[in-house]
Chains A and B, each alone.
Chain A
Amino acid sequence: GAVVSQHPSWVICKSGTSVKIECRSLDFQATTMFWYRQFPKKSLMLMATSNEGSKATYEQGVEKDKFLINHASLTLSTLTVTSAHPEDSSFYICSAPGTTGHNEQFFGPGTRLTVL
Chain B
Amino acid sequence: GENVEQHPSTLSVQEGDSAVIKCTYSDSASNYFPWYKQELGKRPQLIIDIRSNVGEKKDQRIAVTLNKTAKHFSLHITETQPEDSAVYFCAARNGNFNKFYFGSGTKLNVKP
Contact = CB atoms under 8 A, between A and B. Distances in A.
Interface in B68-86: none
A91 B105 contact: no
A: interface residue count bin: 20 to 34
Contacts of B99: 34, 46, 49
A95 interface: yes
A112 interface: yes
A36 B43 CA distance: 11
A103 B1 contact: no
A86 B105 CA distance: 24
B24 to A, nearest CB: 14
A110 B43 contact: yes
Contact of B104 (A43, A108, A112): A43
18 contacts: A41-B107, A43-B89, A44-B89, A44-B102, A45-B102, A46-B100, A49-B99, A59-B1, A91-B41, A95-B100, A97-B98, A103-B51, A104-B46, A105-B93, A107-B44, A109-B42, A110-B41, A112-B41
